[in-house]
Structure 1
Amino acid sequence: MSTVFTTLDTPMGALLLAGEGGVLTRVTFGRPEPAWRAGDLPEATGQLRAYLAGERHDFALPVRSAGTPFQERVWAALDEIPYGRTLTYGALAERVGAPRDRIRAVAAAVGANPLLIVRPCHRVVGADGSLTGYAGGLSAKRDLLTLEGALQTALF
């Protein structure tokens, strides 16, 4: 089965969506693989547009990702973080049963998430609430958390 991709213009930049047979396999701010072909992913595009417009708080999309068993556990825990809420890396480690000295491994699994926004890795923050690491950049993470009401916009 071949992978198709489309891009979605967002306030944070062009978002790349890729899938196979109607199943979403990647959402990123990156570039398409050379073997992929341009195509349509209308359901994913529509749901992401609605999310970015503040009209949708979760996604109902068939998705597939291939990670290690540890990554899959971490990713499943990401799916449990509610819209408009954040969770620290330490709390996430605790949820997946990882010891405190494995927080970096948890952070690496979060960083390997191939489904940005749809699988809400942007909702994971540092122990002090600071915004740390995001494949789409910290500005995009800030924008997403502000959209969800988890952060206030800067006051002047």
Structure 2
Amino acid sequence: MSQARYHHCIFETAGGFCGIAWSADGIIRFQLPTDEAAGTERLLLRRLPASTRAQAPSAFAETVEAVKRYFAGDAVDFSSVALDLDSQDDLMRDIYAAARKIGWGQTTTYGALARTLGLGPEAARDVGQAMARNPVALIIPCHRVLAAGGKLGGFSAPGGSQAKARMLEIEGVKLAPPEPAQASLNF
């Protein structure tokens, strides 16, 4: 019997049940919270090659504890967590490395993140696609990347944009409500 290349565990946080999957090189997938452990596991494994459930080894158990602290409202820095992004192309890895530098309670936009990489405005779409496909959301803080004008934008995790807004709220980010149409017409 061959040994599985990937392992995963499901754990409960104040935000719901999260999941984490790892290889020998680092975390390969992270699943943001859902209301049920089984649902979280299904979502985690949907885009993951064969994986077996296991107890997280100490290096990844520390990340599990950090995620629990995050959803309890503690400022947590995930920038040094070991990741396995070998399945990503060079541009995606560059985008993810830049996103990992966005600190707790800070935000940027897709376009601004593209500019930090020396890319033109057309690359904002590439940044958006990278955030939508982020295999380790939260650890690579895609929720901190907003649409043009600081608008919330989309979020492909369970709960969609509301989940993104809740995560930003945990970090103390206040998103301004959109201006009424009349205000923009000077009524």
Shorter-chain TM-score tier: 0.7 to 0.9
Question: 1: CA distance between counterparts of 2:136 and 2:6?
Answer: 15
User: 1:130 maps to what in 2?
Assistant: 151
SS at match of 2:12: strand
Alignment of 1:105-144 (within 5 A): 105-136=126-157, 137-144=160-167
Amino acid at match of 1:53: A
Summarize deviations over 1:60-100 as a string: whole Å, max 9, x none.
42221131111111101101111101101111111111111
Offset at residue 35 of structure 1 (A) = 1.8
Q: Which has the higher contact order (CA 8 A, sep 6+)?
A: 1
Give unmatched runs, 5+ long, in structure 2: 33-42, 178-187
Question: 2: CA distance between counterparts of 1:34 and 1:68?
Answer: 18
Give the structure with the larger helix fraction. Answer: 2
1:147 and 2:166 correspond: no
Offset at residue 10 of structure 1 (A) = 4.0
Give unmatched runs, 5+ long, in structure 1: none
Amino acid at match of 2:137: L
User: 2:180 maps to what in 1?
Assistant: none
> CA 1:140–1:113 in structure 2 vs 1: closer, same or farther (change >3 Å)?
same
Say which is worse superposed, 21-30 or 114-123, in terms of deviation. 21-30
Alignment of 1:5-154 (within 5 A): 5-10=8-13, 12-21=15-24, 23-29=26-32, 30-32=43-45, 33=48, 35-41=50-56, 42-59=61-78, 60-66=80-86, 67-136=88-157, 137-151=160-174
Question: Size of the alignment, in residue pairs?
Answer: 154
> CA 1:44–1:52 in structure 2 vs 1: closer, same or farther (change >3 Å)?
same
Aligned-residue CA RMSD in angstroms?
2.2
Matched-pair contact (CA < 8 Å) for 2:22–2:29: yes
Q: What is the percentage of aligned positions where both structures have the same residue?
A: 29
SS at match of 1:31: helix
Offset at residue 52 of structure 1 (A) = 1.3
Task: Return the TM-score normalized by structure 2.
Answer: 0.74
Question: 1: CA distance between counterparts of 2:129 and 2:175?
Answer: 27
Matched-pair contact (CA < 8 Å) for 1:3–1:37: yes
Matched-pair contact (CA < 8 Å) for 1:24–1:63: yes
Matched-pair contact (CA < 8 Å) for 1:78–1:119: yes
Question: 2: CA distance between counterparts of 1:153 and 1:95?
Answer: 25
Offset at residue 14 of structure 1 (A) = 2.9
- Decide which structure has the larger Cα Rg and report it: 2
